[in-house]
Amino acid sequence: MADKLIIVESPAKANTIKKFLGGNTKVIASMGHIRDLPKSKMGINIEKDFEPEYINIRGKGELIKKLKKEASDAKQVYLATDPDREGEAIAWHLAHILEIPIDSNCRVTFNEITKETVKESIQKPRKIDMNLTNAQQARRVLDRIVGYKISPVLWKKVKRGLSAGRVQSVAVKLIVDREEEIEHFIPEEYWNIYATLTEPTSKKDFLATFYGKKGKKQELHTKEEVDEILSKIEKGTYIVSNVKKGEKKRTPAPPFTTSTMQQEASRKLGFTLKKTMSVAQGLYEGVSVGERGTVGLITYMRTDSTRISEEARAAAKEHITKEYGAKYYENRYYKTKQNAQDAHEAIRPTYIDLTPESIKNHLTADQYKLYRLIYNRFIASQMAQAIYDTVTAEINVEDYQFRATGQTLKFKGFMTLYVETLDNEKEEEENSIPELTVGQELTKKKLEPKQSFTQPPARYTEASLVKALEEKGIGRPSTYSPTITTILERRYIQKEQKQLVPTELGKIVNSLLVENFTDVINVEFTAKIEEEFDEIAEGKENWKQIIRTFYGPFEKEVEKVEKELEHVQLVDEVSDVKCEKCGRMMVYKYGKYGKFLACPGYPECKNAKPIVETVKVPCPVCGGAVQVRKTKRGKKYYICENNPKSCEYISWNAPKVGEVWSKEEAAKTKKTKESKPRKATEKRTTKRATKKKGTTKTTKKATKSK
């Protein structure tokens, strides 16, 4: 019989904690949730005041038996699931199944999995926090209601198997709206004039940019405006009219929250959100680092707080002064944003002495990259500002002014270790300007007009979408990654390089939802609901009252939409391809693998075929059409329509105009390492998309949905 039984979520976390606790203590894993709402039905009893109908998760019967046995044999059971709302709810479900009194002190949490923290937490168990649990229940119940009520509308009007979600649908809307902005964007012309000037004493050249006329800023929109200015200043004298010297300071970024970690890992490391959270989970739960054994290397990775403990602050000070010197240290506090859940610290290393380099050999490549990012970001957050010397010079020529700006890094400060990357921000560059004096005449070396056009807003990346969701108050740290993963898996959006682009299916679904469920699928409503979840977590709101208030108007809206759409039939887009079996013009449909052509005469005619995209440039081997195909992971490749019958051409890169390959060169691609996955992928794609003696797998699934 064990004195203590500690139940955590994962085996990795269990293994780490086991090594910290001696005596007769057992640590086992629940493997995540053990109870949840059923998948086969809504599982919410509306008549009984929205009571959730939880069931034991299928496949966990043996695990539950084991947990019950171990719990009955132990003198004391501690529920040590993750320290957030989800973890609190898992602990509550465990207590229910193991018949542990809810008001007993059975709950322990670890913000960091270190020996000291684990032992200290075990000594201070508390009751299960029903406010946190109810906040999780409210989210789960409300999202289940929205999904189960709206999704059937999509099934009837678009195709079966689609889903709608309170947060995921708003995320899709943001991406679709951005795409529409880009499509409707009208570029505007603008010009700049650059003057390369020489300081006569030092003979150094520098660049000045046109500013305006008679001290007023002037924007240039046409070549005629530029030509007029050039004609007046071509032979003019360039005189320094003002020189302003100053100092600029740059402050380090705060330690990571979940969203800023996801954004930086995406920008700097190329990690997806899902990968970032998976690697971070491993670092939090524990890694074996030689003689130190297994330790949690970072604090809990789901947080939106920038707060750090005084112990961590002191450790950072010691490390910085020892490694860099006292002038590099600055005791710095960061203000946590409004509406943040401040239960946890920022994400930081648990042991400052375990530098990334010192434990590199004990980490996987991905663990090392992310740990180094977290470690350096935290240390830099407690370092001194970087200082630049700046200079701005104004140069007059006739009635016009040019300006030259420069900066020189005087003190690196935190930039010695870490510099944050921001979307669409240029790196701080040093730009040296020679010593100039007021009244000094400069030599004009070159005048260069440059035409430019305004650019449309950039498409979202995973990083910039997380930033937008956070800024708009949509979702919380634990929801960003699953939300984006879901809409990718549903094929509402796709990745092109790192950009998120809506698919045709995503646009259709978004249009239907936005037009018919305006009160639910909008940013303001979703953000307001998140605030109400926060109020439930703080004990300020009753979770069922939130659901009651939401459900009445929502149910009426669903009934209204179903009635309005009852006689509305979405018309399939007609293609210019004739069905070779019955002569009808084929229409576009959507299946598991995307858009395809199908005969509108279904079920009499079941003909279907893939849509073949081609490029304008002919095959460089035989002159045939070059088709664009995709691998299983969505990467494009290019293959001749005659491959493999009479042409071997296949390449990751699109053919160029005038490009010519010999048959021997094409045949060599089969022998390269790159070509193997291409061929394998081509076979898989062909099996899915090419008809062989009847209907393919794709066609069968697609035709059923019609």
Contact in structure between 125 and 104 (CB atoms under 8 Å) = no
Residue partners of 483: CB distance under 8 A and separation at least 6: 165, 167, 168, 171, 469, 475
3-state secondary structure 630-649: ECCCCCEEEEECCCCCCCCC
Planar angle of CA 661, 666, 669, nearest 5 degrees: 135
Angstrom CA distances, 367 to 265, 280, 380, 539, stand at 12, 8, 20, 38
Q: How deeply is 494 buried, as exposed, middle or buried, from its count of CB atoms within 10 A (0-12, 13-18, 19+)?
A: middle
Contact in structure between 9 and 30 (CB atoms under 8 Å) = yes
Whole-number Å distance between alpha carbons of 331 and 313? 8
Whole-number Å distance between alpha carbons of 362 and 85? 32
Residue with token string 């693998």? 593
Phi, psi angle pair for 507, to nearest 5°: -65, -40
Whole-number Å distance between alpha carbons of 452 and 469? 32
- Report the candidate in 297, 283, 299, 300 with the shortest Cα–Cα distance to residue 478: 300
Phi-psi map region of 311: left, alpha, beta (phi>0 left; psi -120 to 50 alpha): alpha
Angstrom CA distances, 236 to 211, 247, 433, stand at 16, 32, 22
CA atoms within 13 A on the CB side of 523: 12
Whole-number Å distance between alpha carbons of 334 and 78? 34
DSSP letter at 213 equals E
Q: How deeply is 362 buried, as exposed, middle or buried, from its count of CB atoms within 10 A (0-12, 13-18, 19+)?
A: middle
Helix, coil or strand: residue 215: coil
Whole-number Å distance between alpha carbons of 249 and 384? 10
Angstrom CA distances, 19 to 298, 334, 355, stand at 17, 35, 22
Structure tokens at 515: 């037009």
Whole-number Å distance between alpha carbons of 187 and 460? 19
Helix (H) or strand (E) holding 322: helix 310-323
Contact in structure between 71 and 5 (CB atoms under 8 Å) = yes
Q: Which of 284, 300, 460, 590 is catalytic?
A: 300
- How many angstroms separate the first and last alpha carbons of the chain? 60
Structure tokens at 400: 């016009």
Helix (H) or strand (E) holding 493: strand 493-496
Catalytic: 551?
no
Angstrom CA distances, 620 to 629, 656, 661, stand at 17, 8, 5
- What are the b/e assignments for 292-330, b being 16+ CB within 10 Å? eebbbbbbbbbbbbbbbeeebeebbbebbeeebeeebbb
Report strand pairing: 386-397 vs 400-411: antiparallel
Phi-psi map region of 23: left, alpha, beta (phi>0 left; psi -120 to 50 alpha): left
Whole-number Å distance between alpha carbons of 87 and 93? 10
Q: Which residues are catalytic?
A: 300
